[in-house]
Amino acid sequence: MSETKQGRIVKVAGPVVVAEGMAGARMYDVVHVSKLNIIGEIVELHGDLASIQVYEETTGIGPGEPVVDTGAPLSVELGPGLIESIYDGIQRPLDLLVELEGERMSRGSALPGLNREKKWHFIPTVTNGTKVGPGDIIGEVQETMLVQHKIMVPIGVEGTLQRINEGDYTVVETIGVVVADDRTETELKLMQEWPVRNARQTIKRLAPNAILVTGQRVIDTFFPIAKGGTACVPGPFGAGKTVVQHQLAKWIDADIVVYVGCGERGNEMTDVLMEFPKLKDPRSGEPLMQRSVLIANTSNMPVAAREASVYTGITIAEYFRDMGYVVALMADSTSRWAEAMREISTRLEEMPAEEGYPAYLAARIAAFYERAGRVLCCGSPEREGALSIIGAVSPPGGDLSDSVVQATLHVVKVFWSLKGELAYKRHFPAIDWLTSYSFYKQYLKECFENKDQGLEMEELTTQAMSLLEQEAELLEIVRLVGAEALSPKDRLALETSRSIREDILHQNAFHKVDTYTSMDKQYEMLKTVLHFHKQALAAIETGVETAEIFKLPVREEIARAKYIPHEFVTKVAEIRDTIDEHIKQLHPSTV
Amino acid sequence: MPAIKEYQTVTSISGPLMLVEMVDEAKYGHIVDIEFGDGSIRHGQILQVENDKVLVQVFEGTRGIDVTNSTVRFLAKPLELAVSPDILGRVFNGLGEPKDDGPAIIPDKRMDINSKPINPYARNYPNEFIQTGISSIDGLNPLVRGQKLPIFSGAGLPHDQITAQIARQATILGEGKEEFAVVFAAMGITFEAAQFFIDDLHQTGAIERAVMFINLANDPAIERIATPRFALTAAEYLAYELDMHVLVILNDMTNYCEALREISAARKEVPGRRGYPGYLYTDLATIYERAGRIKGKKGSITMVPVLTMPEDDKTHPVPDLTGYITEGQIILSRPLHRKGISPPVDVLPSLSRLKDKGIGEGKTREDHADLYNQLYAAYARGKECQELATIMGEAALSEEDKKYMTFANKFEARYVSQDYYENRSIETTLDLGWELLSMFENAELKRIDVQLIEKYMPKFRKT
Ligand SMILES: Nc1ncnc2c1ncn2[C@@H]1O[C@H](COP(=O)(O)OP(=O)(O)OP(=O)(O)O)[C@@H](O)[C@H]1O
Ligand SMILES: [Mg+2]
């Protein structure tokens, strides 16, 4: 513990304040600014001058006012009570702030991240006398129906466990002690703290080896994300980044979801707050809110806290990963985070690199995504955790040469490129199938219990993708010489591609059935569309007119397959029989 | 209250900025009065304080200010608007001072024009459909109460008519149709454009429920930075203290952004795209995010900002950053305007993000969502065919393509196009959609639920 330092303000320029008399303070120490006790963080030191990024509005503050160094870095509180919370960028609970201070954010509020009064029932999983070390799980708290919160020994604590008891505790009461070899005792609590700018420790990184099912067809079938993987969703305004992020937060097959609304709209967070308690997790049937943590630092909230919000989010996500869970973090939008960095950097009068962003932009982005991964967690029992990061990027004018997009593409393994033109046609999700990619495709086949089905799925996706590529070429020809130039087979390829686009890739997030498609149903749908293609091809070869084939009523059934609820997935398979029948009627001699 | 201090220590002036030295107790964001030798007064706001040096932006511009004869008075408070119910029906200048010949406002209270951000947890999701009577909005991009939905226009396009029509016709359906109070902020627009809007309010009698803040093209440019904030402060007062539903029209946000750019350039800040400051997004968000509904409050703020896209380019920073903050956009198209389609709403890139919770059974009609999805799909395809036909000639189109092209033409002429004084009910708009779609087979209407087709279509099918 360093002694508390007090300096005084010499300069105020928007979100940056400079104070003198700060010799001895450390970089990234949290400070309290002015009598209002506004929270800030030291981001630059020059002699006894400290530049501070302030997490709240600075109107009314001026030179001469005090600055007090807390001597501690910006940290989050980790423990039971995180789930179902909604925090601002520096972990202040927004719901409690409304109760305490009304509907608008006032300054200098100091509410702790975790509720101090609430009692949690703690059940030890190890006995007194056990030798414990960092990361060891010593007990559990059933935090919500969906989340069993594992209580871990904090990093740096090692020794023999004593006086651990089952019981009801608040997060700050002592649940046991660890006696080190030199007889010093450390009290254990349900809560621990961690500085947000440092990644939490792990034993080692492992390569991702499994898909995280999202129920979104274009994603799962064509560009899947892995457990522990990283993805980026760039696109112009209105292209559907937020809807993709919300859809994933709702349906992704993760144990814990951390959603960071970073510099985006207030109503989007309200939307999540209203929807999630109502929506049921497709696997457990419990409300989705019971596995979610929300961080909302909207665009009109202070810029510096926006910069911190992604770190607050990722630290909470890492903490759950360390329990051995599969965690997914969505950050919407990382561009706003980068812009916050830029704004602070400008006020610090740093040398700008491209587009005014600081030179360290790419390094910060890379370091952030590096906190994702499948890992071997610290401590016993031995366990694996995974943390996936899905970041939205909002480039100016939708231009992908933007610095933030480029820096992100250097590090992520999945790219879902949202195209304005697709969104204007209301083709949603507007993920461009020709330029998007995923490095995790090879794990798709493992999603199926039946090995052959997995292999078949792999073939089907390859075939579908090559049809879509063929379509792009054929459309080019049509544009040059007209549709007349196409052979019947080419026309079929165009029709099948249209069917892939409209009946499979297109997915309405707001339709009660279409919003989520199980992996089995995705397989059946793709298989059915390609079955039609195969049968139609055979018919064409025997001389059937394409016009006759395209008119078949079964095509409407294929188009409506997306609205068949998962329970009736066999009905999707049955469409293939209808296809056979219809085609047979066109040309009885072929089958 | 701290004592007001006076200084005659202006040391330099550059562009709209003024540096005052040897000041103590200046606070960031507070305002100053600058008095000249002849007794006239200008207003300024503190942009930066460093030791005893204070950087002030002068709203009325610095022309004529000299360093020796000016007295700067530090008022030790932020910019405020004096409010009372009497602001209704009044016209103010861009700095919130009465501009009509009415009496001074005897304030109930003074409100900081930079209100504190709404805690996202306190927001109530906008979900009440507003009928504007304009099909291309109501049918395809519905506006809901508490939404911020800008109009992206261009020089010479009829955005003034459209905003006037919205202000005139906007109603909430259901019993006791509630009327909106209108807050209008003019920023750097012409006298004619502002007067057109005000006259319209007079004609309908809506003027009694309106408050206007007018900064015209020949008024001081820097003042525009404050104008929308004054307007929104008035709106917040009406919405959250007098329980009114308020429609705020901000016209033209491009001029606002230019004023901001001027300040940024004078401060020699690192410029962002096209010289606009890097914090333009954040700055605009502090304006646009003031729209909304708040739990436990009866009133609401619905916002329709207008902006002109330089060179009709929607990737220009002003429309681009606006689109990233607002809940959709209504885009006007020059080609449609030339074709004589009015209002020339470019349906495809236009969007209302809050529509989904504002429409459907009990709000508009059960078929609304499926219907607009289908209209969009058919029009998007028709538009492609229109384009193909212009490149290759109509002969190159297949029969099916031709059908879609016909649909697109009819859709533009009948659905999008309507008179500025035609107020279509939502039923009329929805039925018009069915009627236009009746040229397709049921099987082609893949986006509409089969049961809805069976229920609504038969009426429109000619045998
Ligand atoms: N899968 C989908 N199904 C149906 N509609 C969708 C889908 N995806 C997007 N949309 C529509 O597109 C609109 C815009 O999407 P969204 O808000 O996600 O855009 P965005 O890329 O996040 O934009 P911004 O960058 O401005 O935040 C939504 O309000 C919705 O109407
Ligand atoms: Mg978004």
B59-76 tens-digit pLDDT: 998 888 888 888 999 999
Partners of A355 on chain B (C-beta within 8 Å) are 272-273
Q: Cα(B278) to centroid of ligand 2, in Å?
A: 19
Atom 8, ligand 1: which residue's CA is nearest? A240
User: Residue B320 pLDDT more than 80?
Assistant: yes
Which residue has its alpha carbon closest to ligand 1 atom 25?
A237
Tokens of A373: 């991964």
Helical segments of B180-290, H only: 191-204, 227-236, 253-266, 280-288
| Confidence check: pLDDT of B443 > 90 | no
What pLDDT is stored for residue A142 in this prediction?
Answer: 97
pLDDT value, residue A15: 86
Pocket lining: A395 vs ligand 1, CB cutoff 6 Å: no
pLDDT band at B260 (very low <50, low <70, confident <90, very high): very high
**Residue to substitute from A49, A260, A265, interface B, most B β-carbons within 10 A:** A265
Q: Identify the band that residue B463 occupies on the pLDDT scale cut at 50, 70 and 90.
A: low
Q: Residue A1 has what pLDDT?
A: 41
Compute φ and ψ for B380, nearest 5 degrees: -60, -45
Question: Do the Cβ atoms of B177 and B242 come closer than 8 Å?
Answer: no
Q: What is the model's pLDDT at position A2?
A: 46
Looking at residue A84, its pLDDT comes to: 95
Q: Is B353 in the pocket of ligand 1 (CB under 6 A)?
A: yes
- A235 in contact with ligand 1, CB cutoff 6 A: yes
For a pocket test of ligand 1, which of A220, A243, A502 has the largest count of ligand atoms closer than 8 A to its C-beta? A243
**For residue A13, which residues of chain B lie inside 8 Å, CB to CB?**
28, 47-48, 50
Residues B194-214, mean pLDDT to the nearest whole number: 93
Q: Which atom of ligand 1 is nearest to the CA of A243?
A: 18
The verdict on whether omega for the bond into residue B431 sits within 30 degrees of 0, i.e. cis, is: no
Q: Does A300 sit within 8 Å of B27, measured CB to CB?
A: no
CA-closest residue to ligand 1 atom 10: A240
Query: What order of strands is seen across the sheet that includes strand B143-144?
Result: B143-144, B129-131, B171-172
What single DSSP character describes residue B222?
G
Cis peptide before A381 (omega within 30 of 0): yes
List of chain A residues with pLDDT < 50? 1-2, 588-591
Amino acid at site A466: S
Q: Which ligand is nearest to the CA of A250?
A: 1
Residue ranges of domains in chain B, CATH in brackets:
5-77 (2.40.30.20), 81-357 (3.40.50.12240), 368-460 (no CATH)
Question: Ligand 1 pocket test: which of B288, B353, B368, B447 has the largest number of ligand atoms within 8 Å of its C-beta?
Answer: B353
Q: Is residue A241 lining ligand 1, measured as CB closer than 6 Å?
A: yes
The answer to whether the beta carbons of residues A180 and A142 sit under 8 Å apart is: no
Residue B2, pLDDT score: 61
Residue numbers in B near A399 (CB within 8 A): 315
Instruction: Tell me the C-alpha distance between B243 and A212, whole Å.
Output: 47
pLDDT above 80 for B1: no
CA distance A31 to B241: 37
Task: Give chain A's domains with CATH numbers.
Answer: 5-73 (2.40.30.20), 120-193 (2.40.50.100), 203-443 (3.40.50.300), 451-590 (1.10.1140.10)
**B325 with A299: Cβ contact below 8 A:** yes
Q: Which residue of B has its CA nearest to A264?
A: B325
Kindly state the tokens that stand for A184: 């010093």
pLDDT at A589: 43
Q: Is the peptide bond before A499 cis (omega within 30 degrees of 0)?
A: no
Contacts with A341 from chain B: Cβ below 8 Å: none
ipTM above 0.90, yes or no: yes
Q: Is the CB of A243 under 6 A from ligand 1?
A: yes
Q: How far apart are CA A512 and CA A563, in angstroms?
A: 9
CA A535 – CA A576 distance, rounded (Å): 10
Assign B291 a pLDDT band (cuts: 50, 70, 90).
very high
Q: Encoding tokens for residue A194?
A: 């961690």
- Give A452-499 as a 3 state SS string: HHHHHHHHHHHHHHHHHHHHHHHHHHHHHHCHHHCCHHHHHHHHHHHH
pLDDT in tens, B78-87: 999 999 999 9
**Which of A220, A233, A242 for a ligand 1 pocket mutation test, highest count of atoms within 8 Å of Cβ?**
A242
Instruction: Determine whether the shortest distance from the Cβ of A169 to ligand 1 is under 6 A.
Output: no
Query: Given this model, what pLDDT does residue B175 score?
Result: 63
The residues placing their C-beta within 5 Å of ligand 2, an ion, are A 241-242
Sign, CA torsion A198/A200/A203/A208: negative
Cα angle value B278/B281/B286 (rounded, 5°): 125
Distance A421 CA to ligand 2 centre (A): 17
Beta carbons of B278 and A343 less than 8 Å apart: yes
B278 closest CB neighbour out of A59, A346, A399: A346
Q: Ligand 1, atom 16: nearest CA belongs to which residue?
A: A240
- Give the number of other Cβ atoms within 10 Å of residue A245's Cβ: 24
Which among A236, A423, A482 is the nearest to B396, CB-wise?
A482
A residues 33-52 lying closer than 8 A (beta carbon) to B: none
Closest C-alpha residue for ligand 1 atom 7: A428
End-to-end CA distance of chain B: 80
Q: What is the rounded distance in angstroms from the CA atom of residue B138 to the CA atom of residue A269?
A: 25
pLDDT at residue A118, as a whole number: 96
Say which residues have a Cβ less than 8 Å from residue B215's Cβ, sequence separation at least 6.
B93, B94, B185, B186, B187, B188, B223, B224, B227
